[in-house]
Chains A and B, each alone.
Chain A
Amino acid sequence: MRKRTVLLIIYLLVLFFPIYWMINTSLKTDNEILKELTLIPKDLTFKNYAEIFTSELWRSSFMNSIIYVCLNVIISLIAAIPAAYAFSRWKFRGSHHLFFWLLTNRMAPAAVFMVPFTELYYTLQIYDTHLAVALAHCLFNIPLAIWILEGFMSGIPREIDETALIDGYSFPRFFGKIFFPLIAPGVGVAAFFCFTFSWIELILAKALTVTNAKPVVVTLTVGIGAEGVRWGLLAAAGVLTMVPGAIVVYFVRNYIAKGFALGRV
């Protein structure tokens, strides 16, 4: 048991070293980053963060990211919950093929879909809006959400559905009052994964936005590759992009632990 704890701690240290290094870099002056290797910043500075917080560009890109990610989580869950219910409860004509087809959508290379997406969303007149990115991210998030939720729902005995319907519950009431609370941990886990994958996606978010909905991941890439990369600033922005995710993890941690305890992911 002791040995395992030691191994775990070593692993977590390795895991967090790169993150520590980024935080470390974000607190240094550009001069120090380029001149020498220091484990702890010599001149502790918050200038990089101050620059981000006072810049309209950075603030709006953070807001854009949060808006489309939340929109995507909502759309994904609304579409996935009934579908997952259908897959977990009924074998209907073609259900097997449909399930596999849904999964293949996750494999679709985003790099290639960017051109068709651009054309399609121009036609629908939603190019460069939050909705466009949110819909595009459904490509990989709906299959994932269905997959996760189907697992959770299959773990709940069918007898519960039957008993509730015999007791005179209408289907919507049964779903809202009885079934939904039972799968709430699953919904939490699915929401967490959808949030994660939408938050970190770059290719589609980059292709589908120009200015109005420009997300933070795209703002981050600007200036890389050019001469004189501002490492401190980039590192600070990188640290800040982890914050919303960390907050989400904090809120859903009990759901995740419960969901994991059910053994259904």
Chain B
Amino acid sequence: MKNRGWLFVIPALAVLAISAFIPLMTVINYSLHYIFAGSTPTFVGFENYVEVLRDSVFLQALVRQLVFSLGILAVEVPLGICIALCLPKRGPGVAVCLVLLGIPLLIPFNVVGIIARVLTQSAVGVIPEFFALFNYSFNVSKDPVDAFMTIFLLDVWHWTPLVALLCYAGLQAIPDAYYQAARIDGASAWKTFRYVTLPKLRSVLIIGVLLRFMDSFKIYAEPLLLTGGGPGDATTFLSLHVARKAESYQLGYAGASSFIYLFIVIVFSYIFFQLMTHIGKGETK
């Protein structure tokens, strides 16, 4: 009786066996072999892992990825909360705002890349023209900083609405009585936010932070379309690097690096999960 839960989980597990478990096992299998097109794979133990961890391109991509992921969290989360606070609480404006915020989320990644290309084209794009007003020559295909910032802002543009929508949902769940109590106690706006709103947003913020962190690690199409990971390696993020290796059939290397990559994401997500759960608990007590 106690384990009837498993019965209900079977359909999900069955689908995930095909679409998650078997591929993951295959990846691990690749990572332990030396694979060369046409020949039989030879077992090499952890050699691929050693090679990946010694590869400076991989390590640079990893650092770049971490800077990027933590950076977008630092921008998107506070901005998302601010926008959620600005949204109307009720009335006809609500549905309109929700739909408007939802639209950017529905733009395919590669269309985002195309938008970026259109906006940053040298000579006739809006952004280079704008910077030209300040005598700054903005060029994504030459300047690594420009390229990195373009991808960064693109991600902020594309995904802040998701954080805002999640936070808005969290805000709606806070009963008015809490705010009335805070007002009666004479709490300032900041204190009300800090001690009433923020703790109540904890659960949605956990979802938001984890979702954005995991997904930002998967960033692929935008840098690929904007500059193909360049100039140099300025926008070569982890999945771009791994995909390149997989596409050139260096499956052993690709398998090992993706396992390391998965491990890092899981460890970080677990730390975030634990931290946010505990900080939140301290506050509500």
Contact = CB atoms under 8 A, between A and B. Distances in A.
Contacts of A135: 15, 18-19
A63 interface: no
B172 A196 contact: no
Given A21-B126, A105-B16, A117 B23 contact: yes
Interface stretch (B91-99, B135-143, B276-284): B91-99
Contact of B15 (A87, A119, A142): A142
Interface in B231-279: 238-240, 242-243, 246, 251, 254-255, 258, 261-262, 265-266, 269
Contacts of B228: 225
A136 B19 contact: yes
Given A104-B266, A242-B107, A265-B204, A95 B5 contact: yes
Nearest to B228: A225
A92 B6 contact: yes
A120 B94 contact: no
Nearest to A147: B207
Interface in A224-264: 224-225, 229, 231, 234-235, 238, 241-242, 245-246, 248-250, 253-254, 256-257, 259-264
Given A18-B119, A107-B262, A82 B11 contact: yes
Contact of A8 (B16, B83, B210): B83
A221 B23 contact: no
Contacts of A260: 98, 165, 168-169, 172
A19 interface: yes
B3 interface: yes
Interface string B64-94: 0000000000000000001101111000001
Interface string B145-174: 000000000000100010001101110111
B198 interface: no
A109 B225 contact: no
B109 interface: yes
B12 A83 contact: yes
Contacts of B5: 86-87, 89-92, 95
Given A37-B125, A203-B243, A253-B95, 5 more contacts: A79-B11, A79-B16, A142-B15, A220-B108, A265-B170
Contact of A120 (B7, B14, B23, B126): B23
A46 B218 CA distance: 36
B9 interface: yes
B86 to A, nearest CB: 4
Given A18-B115, A142-B12, A36 B124 contact: yes
B8 A8 contact: no
Contacts of A19: 103-104, 107, 115
A249 B204 contact: no
B173 A111 contact: no
Interface in A159-211: 192, 196, 199-203
B204 to A, nearest CB: 6
B106 interface: yes
Contact of A254 (B95, B118, B218, B225): B95
Interface string B115-133: 1011100001110010000
Contact of B207 (A15, A35, A196, A265): A265
Contact of B22 (A12, A37, A120): A120
Given A80-B12, A112-B246, A257 B98 contact: yes
Interface in B1-57: 2-9, 11-16, 18-20, 22-24, 26-27, 30
A interface residue count range (under 10 / 10 to 19 / 20 to 34 / 35 or more):
35 or more
Contacts of B255: 112
Interface in A107-142: 107-117, 119-120, 124, 135-139, 142
A100 B200 CA distance: 23
A186 to B, nearest CB: 11
A5 interface: yes
A70 interface: no
B105 interface: yes
A90 B4 contact: yes
B24 A108 contact: yes
B181 interface: no
Interface centre among B15, B170, B217 (most CB of A within 10 A): B15
B225 A139 contact: no
Interface string B209-225: 01100100110110001
A102 interface: yes
Nearest to B130: A37
Nearest to A256: B98
B187 interface: no
A239 to B, nearest CB: 9
A93 interface: yes
16 contacts: A8-B86, A18-B157, A22-B111, A82-B8, A95-B5, A110-B220, A112-B27, A112-B258, A116-B26, A136-B19, A151-B203, A192-B102, A221-B225, A245-B106, A265-B166, A265-B169
